[in-house]
Amino acid sequence: MSIYDVIFYLFAILTIGSGYLVVTSKNIVHSAFYLLFTLFGVAGLYVLLAADFIAIVQLMVYVGGILILLLFGVMLTNKVTDVKIRTGTIHIIPAVIGTGLLMGVIVSMMLRTNWKSEPGELPFTTTYGLGRILLTDYVLVFELLAMLLLIALIGAASIARRDNE
């Protein structure tokens, strides 16, 4: 087992373990904090895959932005912090069968498939190539993304504004 594998399993255990705690924790603030470790673990996996740009974005946007906002939202709505969330399980047998089947399918698929791989060295940094491709080949996607963000803004403002009738 190389050092690479050790780091991989460390991050994987961190992600899965804290992910489990997010859904089982009865206190919503604790859940939000556990989510921090899940997202951080995913960022670590990205680093291992040499996807440096995505790793930074994951840290900045998810850990730095969304999670902090989530915590603010939870803590500022003072009623929510006291609410005990129901984390019980219902329909346990169908759920086990369903998820078991899905997991079987995914695992067998993962092991049996010839995934497409291209020989070549890992790039030293991905940001340059990514920026280049986003503004040339994928410029349409880039611009459409801008429209998507505009719509998201309008939608969020529309939901958040106070209506008086």
Partner 1 sequence: MINEILNSITFIYPELAVSIFLLIIVLVDLVFHKDKKYIPYISLAGLVITGILVLNQIGITHFAFVPQLSAVKKYGMMTIDPFGSYFKLLVVVTSILIIFFTIASEEVIDLKERLGEFHALIYGMILGMLVMISASDLILIYLSLELLSLSSYVLAGFLKLRERSSEASLKYVIYGSVSSGLMLFGISIIYGLTGSTNLYVINSLIQGPQINLFTLSFSSILMFVGIGYKISAAPFHFWTPDVYEGAPISITAYLSVASKAAGFALLIRFIQTGFTSFISEDGYWTLIAVFDWQALLIAISILTMTLGNFSALWQDNLKRMLAYSSIAHAGYILLGIAVLSNQGLIAVLIYFFVYMLMNIGAFYVVMLISNKTGSENIDDYDGLGAKAPFLGVALAIFLISLTGLPPTAGFIAKLYLFIALIDANMIVVAIIALLNTVVSLYYYVRVLKHMYLTKSEREQENITPSIGSLVYLLVLLIPILFFGIYFTPIVEFARSCVSLLGI
Name the token pair of 130. Answer: 């990514």
CB of 107 to partner 1, least distance (A): 12
Q: Which residues contact 157 (CB under 8 A, 6 or more apart)?
A: none
CB of 149 to partner 1, least distance (A): 10
CA distance 77 to 90: 29
Say if CB 80 and CB 74 are below 8 A apart. yes
Say if CB 59 and CB 37 are below 8 A apart. no
Among 61, 75, 95, 133, binds partner 1 (CB under 8 A): 133
Binding mask 93-132 for partner 1 (x = CB under 8 A): ------------x--xx--xxxxx-x-------------x
- 133: how many CB neighbours lie within 10 A of its CB? 13
Q: What is the DSSP string of 60-101?
A: IIIIIIIHHHHHHHHHHSHHHHHPBPP----SHHHHHHHHHH
Binding mask 37-66 for partner 1 (x = CB under 8 A): ------------------------------
Candidate segments 1-9, 18-26, 89-97, 155-163, binder of partner 1 by CB under 8 A:
155-163
Nearer to partner 1, 78 or 117 (CB): 117
Total residues interacting with partner 1, rule: CB under 8 A = 32
Give contact residues for partner 1 (rule: CB under 8 A). Answer: 105, 108-109, 112-116, 118, 132-133, 136-141, 144-145, 147-148, 150-152, 154-155, 157-159, 161, 163, 165
